[in-house]
């Protein structure tokens, strides 16, 4: 076995490519708090136009983007409907409740990652002084690497709209969803990204995940919505000054790194195929760039030893009994094959 190393912990671990670094270096800069950074302005216009919104706001993280979104849609004492496993509920420190007094109404996911329409409908509260005001549905796509079916997204967002709720998409990996959806429809990823985004009143997109930029997300919505989000971003300390270099990296990613997400999806499948049939491993077929592998039966007790073996052989992943492998810009076929070989060696010995 080679002494190669491969980092499959997350698609956030990528290094900017030489082309991206050159774009960052060349970016014209200004003070974005005075709305005077041409590179930030250009990025905001580009992503808004791409997804079909009036305006966009560049923010340092996806967490801040979701926070600005929920607090712009909701007032104190309002409620947002969200999945139990959604990043905006589970992995963001409860920020909407802490900073906005906005109460989450979490729902369990179905096997395909969706929230059932029946559950959503039942969670919308009547206008009654006993209840928090149902104000927003927040979906996530992809969720744990799963593509929500477009027909479902259309039905869920139409359902809540009819009850007067707003719709927010945590599209940290919107372009992974779009590339996977394009493979199904035969259309192109940009068209599919827009088709998904247009079901929502606001969409958050991460540049720092599969798109391979070092930092940044964008929140898209109407002009009035983005004006409110801008105020929240200021309160959250997210007003950045000469941020154009970071915006230029994100802009470069939109130009060069969308279609190549298909390579990451193919590598996740390659990993899954390589691990198929190992006794003690249950491999979930990946839909995009995230692969989950459960340890079953006796293999469960070997979890710590397996993780040590992986670490000793340069393979980084997360999880304990449910391992997560994420493919990205800095993983190639040789890296994926190395991970497979290391895992196979463990179970053969
Ligand atoms: C990564 C991620 C975010 C935002 O994460 P940050 O680390 O704050 O940029 C939000 N939602 C989802 C689904 C994510 O995967």
Ligand 1 midpoint to CA 88 (Å)? 8
State the Cα–Cα distance between residues 296 and 30, nearest whole angstrom: 55
Q: Report which DSSP code applies to 165.
A: -
pTM for the full model? Answer: 0.97
Q: List, in order, residues 6 or more apart from 247 with CB less than 8 Å away.
A: 27, 37, 39, 40, 42, 43, 44, 58, 216
- Please check whether residues 169 and 314 belong to one and the same domain: no
Nearest ligand 1 atom, CA 62: 4
Residues 223 and 80 in one domain: yes
Domain span at residue 294 reads 6-13+260-348
Query: Do 325 and 269 have their domain in common?
Result: yes
Alpha-carbon Rg for the chain in angstroms: 21
Q: Is the dihedral of CA 244, 245, 246, 249 positive or negative?
A: positive
Residue 337 lies in a domain: yes
Residues 202 and 224 in one domain: yes
In CATH, what number is assigned to the domain containing residue 341?
3.90.1150.10
Q: Whose CA is nearest to atom 3 of ligand 1?
A: 62
* 277 and 169 within one domain: no
For 106-138, write each residue's pLDDT tens digit: 999 999 999 999 999 999 999 999 999 999 999
- Grade residue 2 by pLDDT with cuts at 50, 70 and 90: low
Please check whether residues 313 and 168 belong to one and the same domain. Answer: no
At 283-335, the pLDDT tens digits run: 999 999 999 999 999 999 999 999 999 999 999 999 999 999 999 999 999 99
Q: Containing H/E element for 312? A: helix 303-312
3-state secondary structure of 186: coil
Say how many domains are in the chain: 2
Q: Which of 238, 256, 274 is the last residue of a domain?
A: 256
Same domain, 280 and 249: no
Confidence category of residue 349, pLDDT binned at 50, 70, 90: confident
* CA dihedral sign of residues 123, 125, 131, 136: positive
Q: Which residues lie with the beta carbon below 6 Å from any ligand 1 atom?
A: 61-63, 66, 87, 140, 170, 172, 206, 208-209, 217
172 and 79 co-located in one domain: yes
Summarised one tens digit per residue, pLDDT across range 203-248 is 999 999 999 999 999 999 999 999 999 999 999 999 999 999 999 9
């Amino acid at each position: 076995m080679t002494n190669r190393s491969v980092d499959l912990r997350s698609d956030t671990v990528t290094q900017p490519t030489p082309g991206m670094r050159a774009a960052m270096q060349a970016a014209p800069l200004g003070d974005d708090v005075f709305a005077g950074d041409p590179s930030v302005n250009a990025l905001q216009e580009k992503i808004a136009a791409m997804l079909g919104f009036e305006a966009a706001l560049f923010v340092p993280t996806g967490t801040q983007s979701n926070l600005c979104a929920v607090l712009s849609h909701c007032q104190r004492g309002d409620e947002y409907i969200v999945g139990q496993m959604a990043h905006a509920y589970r992995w963001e420190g409860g920020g909407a409740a802490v900073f906005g007094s906005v109460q989450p109404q979490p729902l369990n996911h179905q096997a395909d990652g969706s929230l059932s329409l029946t559950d959503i409908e039942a969670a919308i509260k009547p206008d009654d002084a006993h209840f928090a005001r149902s104000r927003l549905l927040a979906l996530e796509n992809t969720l744990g690497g799963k593509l929500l079916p477009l027909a479902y997204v259309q039905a869920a967002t139409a359902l809540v709209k009819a009850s007067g709720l707003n719709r927010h998409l945590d599209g940290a990996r919107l372009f992974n969803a779009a590339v996977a959806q394009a493979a199904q429809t035969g259309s192109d990823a940009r068209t599919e990204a827009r088709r998904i985004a247009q079901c929502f009143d606001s969409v958050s997109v991460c540049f720092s995940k599969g798109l391979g930029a070092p930092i940044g997300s964008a929140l898209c919505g109407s002009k009035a919505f983005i004006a409110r989000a801008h105020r929240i971003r200021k309160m959250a300390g997210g007003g950045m000054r000469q941020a154009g270099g970071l915006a230029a990296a994100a802009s470069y990613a939109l130009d060069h790194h969308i279609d190549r997400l298909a390579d990451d999806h193919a590598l996740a499948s390659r990993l899954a195929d390589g691990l198929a049939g190992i006794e003690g491993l249950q491999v979930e077929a990946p839909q995009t760039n995230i692969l989950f592998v459960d340890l079953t039966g006796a293999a469960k007790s070997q979890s710590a030893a397996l993780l040590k073996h992986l670490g000793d052989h340069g393979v980084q992943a997360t999880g304990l009994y449910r391992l997560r492998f994420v493919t990205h810009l800095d993983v190639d076929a040789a890296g994926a094959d190395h991970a497979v070989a290391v895992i196979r060696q463990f179970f053969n010995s």
